[in-house]
Amino acid sequence: MNSRGFEGYALLTTERFRGHPLAGGAGAVVVVGPGPVPEVSAAARAEVGGRPVVALGGGRVIDSAKAVGAADSLPVAAVPTTLSGAELTGFHRLPEGVDGVRLVRPSLVIADPALMASAPMPLLAASAMNALAHAVEALYTPLANPVASMAALRGASLLASGLHGEGDPSQGQREDLALGALLAGYASGQTGYAVHHVVCQTIVRVGGTTHAETNATMLPHTLRLMRGRAPDEIARVEDALGGQDVAAQLASRAGVSGLRALGFDPARVDDVVAAVMPRPELANTPDPPGEAEMRELVEAAL
């Protein structure tokens, strides 16, 4: 870390990794608690104290580190412990009270497959489905390009391979999941996101559901939505997965059975639709769905 400009870094992490060797070399260790990124990153800024920031954790921890780095012009490194892909994107929110600054992505990423794919099943499968959604959406946004598409399709194939079969994934499968998530995260960072992530982010925020499981629940439904809008792209990703119904089979590995099972209140469907429709990222979707179709999409996943 020191040789890359991270002397005396502040380590942002969770209780699970407080005892990691990276904590021993840190100038400060900041445990990121539960809550939205604007709140937890605002709370972390004072403890970071202007030090370079190293994130050891999943998407929320890495996004919080990016938020602090953006707010205070600090270098950010990421050591991911999930398949979120956050380490390879410039997507994040800002700390409460901060606006008008440029979003950032980590300048240094240390990707250890054993850490990235360390979650137990079925959480690991849910995290992989979130990564798969990154690969899918990278194929059809306005910024889609040949290099990102190649990465997305290879990532999708690796993610499907990593979840193939029953029981606990082998070491080799976990390595496939880690590399697949990195490729999908790279593709998403180059191309942005569209309807799937707009809807999932909104369901999580409005309905209080868990992030990875929400993505796993919604992906088979958003794939069906997109078949008529981006038929060539969806056909390519489904071919990379091994068939049209494979996404639903992979979602079953995540143990999801609908939004209700995740604690979502069906009475909040209209609230989700109302919050989704003004989102500018929705325009990245070919032929963006209107309110009625959006409502049908969410209701189908209940």
* Annotated domain spans of the chain: 2-110, 120-300
| Cα 176 off chain centre by | 17
What number is the average pLDDT over the span 232-240?
97
Average pLDDT value for residue range 237-263: 94
**pLDDT reported for residue 2:** 63
Structure confidence at residue 81 (pLDDT): 96
Could you count the other beta carbons within 10 Å of the beta carbon of residue 96?
16
Q: Cα separations (Å) of 136 from 84, 108, 174, 281?
A: 14, 25, 20, 15
Distance between CA atoms of residues 93 and 48, nearest Å: 18
Percent of the chain with pLDDT over 70: 99
CB-based contacts of 240-244 (< 8 A; 24+ apart in sequence) = 240/153, 240/154, 240/156, 240/157, 240/160, 241/156, 241/157, 241/160, 242/160
The pLDDT of residue 101? 87
The sign of the torsion formed by the CA atoms of 85, 91, 97, 101 equals positive
Query: What is the arithmetic mean of pLDDT over 208-223?
Result: 96
The closest of 187, 247, 238, 191 to 220, measured between CA atoms, is 247
- Please, what is the average pLDDT of the chain? 95
- Comparing C-alpha atoms, which of 230, 267, 2 is closest to residue 108? 2
Share of the chain above pLDDT 90, in %: 90
| CA-to-CA dists, residue 127 to 90, 163, 192, angstroms | 19, 11, 19
Which token pair is 123?
Answer: 């959480």
pLDDT digits (tens, 9 = 90+) for 157-202: 999 999 998 889 999 999 999 999 999 999 999 999 999 999 999 9
Q: What's the predicted TM-score (pTM) here?
A: 0.93
DSSP 8-state assignment for residue 242: T
DSSP structure class, residue 5: T
β-partners of residue 31 are 13
* 259-267 mean pLDDT: 98
- pLDDT recorded at residue 196: 98
* 55 DSSP β-pair partners: 12, 78
pLDDT greater than 80 at residue 6: yes
Q: Mind listing the pLDDT tens digit for each residue in 68-113?
A: 999 999 999 999 999 999 999 998 989 999 988 888 999 999 999 9
Distance CA 205, CA 87 (A): 21
First to last CA, the chain: 45
Give per-residue pLDDT as tens, 140-158.
999 999 999 999 999 999 9
- 187 φ/ψ angles, rounded to the nearest 5 degrees: -60, -45
Burial of 277 (0-12, 13-18, 19+ CB in 10 A): middle
pLDDT at 1: 65
Per-residue b or e along 22-56, where b marks 16 or more CB atoms closer than 10 Å to that residue's CB? beeebebbbbbeeeebbebbbbbbeebeebbbbbb
The count of C-alpha atoms lying within 13 angstroms of the C-alpha of 149, restricted to the half-sphere facing its C-beta, is 14
Q: How would CATH label the architecture of 2-110?
A: 3-Layer(aba) Sandwich (3.40)
Q: Count other C-beta atoms under 10 Å from residue 244's C-beta.
A: 14
pLDDT for 3 equals: 63
| Higher per-residue confidence, 6 vs 128 | 128
Listed in sequence order, the residues at least 6 apart from 226 whose beta carbon sits closer than 8 Å to its beta carbon are: 136, 140, 195, 233, 234, 285, 286
Q: Pick 120-300's CATH classification: 3.30.465.10, 1.20.1090.10, 3.40.50.720, 3.90.320.10.
A: 1.20.1090.10
